């Protein structure tokens, strides 16, 4: 399964880069603040960190529960952290430099986590699920604790 990055400003639009690696459908992606890295998540229960310029996968991390990942998001105030949501309602914070999930950075929302959003400061996180619930969390920028 591939992630295609397209340039829609050219006429006609063109594919700039194809990233290969996921084994099942890609369900989410996000760009780092500098637009040099991308994170993607998949039904194969993995989160992948990509260097878009070199078209390489820098890190692959499995979901803590081994279930489908449905949403992912770079922490806007600290792009060293990525937030992921899975099909069993778990919201989890990952340090992408180490590949380790943050202590205290996981919480259960219930349902299937379908969407994630942060405010510009990165201190507030919202997670939405398939049951119509949107829950807010205070995000500790230093530790990744929710």
Q: Is 9 exposed, middle or buried (0-12, 13-18, 19+ CB in 10 A)?
A: exposed
pTM of the model: 0.92
Parallel/antiparallel/unpaired status of strands 90-95 and 2-7: unpaired
Closest by alpha carbon to 114, among 86, 142, 76, 78?
Answer: 86
> Is residue 78 within 8 Å of 95, Cβ to Cβ?
no
- CA gap 138, 60 in Å, rounded: 27
- Residue 1: per-residue pLDDT: 83
**DSSP code per residue over 7-75:** E-SSSS-EEEEEEE--SS-EEEEEE-TTSSEEEEEETTSEEEEEETTTTEEEEEEE-TTS--EEEEEE-
pLDDT in tens, the chain (146 residues): 889 999 999 999 999 999 999 999 999 999 999 999 999 999 999 999 999 999 999 999 999 999 999 999 999 999 999 999 999 999 999 999 999 999 999 999 989 999 999 999 999 999 999 999 999 999 999 999 99
2-138 — its CATH code? Answer: 2.130.10.10
Closest by alpha carbon to 47, among 90, 109, 108?
Answer: 90
């Amino acid at each position: 399964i591939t992630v295609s990055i397209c340039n829609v400003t050219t006429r006609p639009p063109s594919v700039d880069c194809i990233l290969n690696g996921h084994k099942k459908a890609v369900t989410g992606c996000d760009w780092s603040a500098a637009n040099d890295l991308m994170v993607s998540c998949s039904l194969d229960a993995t989160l992948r960190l990509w260097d878009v310029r070199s078209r390489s996968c820098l890190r692959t991390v499995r979901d803590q529960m081994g279930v489908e990942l449905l949403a992912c998001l770079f922490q806007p105030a600290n792009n060293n952290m990525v937030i992921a949501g899975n099909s069993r309602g778990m919201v989890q914070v990952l340090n992408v430099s180490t590949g380790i999930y943050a202590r205290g950075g996981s919480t259960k929302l219930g349902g299937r986590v379908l969407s994630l959003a942060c405010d510009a400061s990165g201190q507030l996180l919202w997670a939405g699920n398939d049951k119509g619930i949107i829950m807010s969390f205070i995000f500790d920028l230093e530790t990744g604790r929710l």
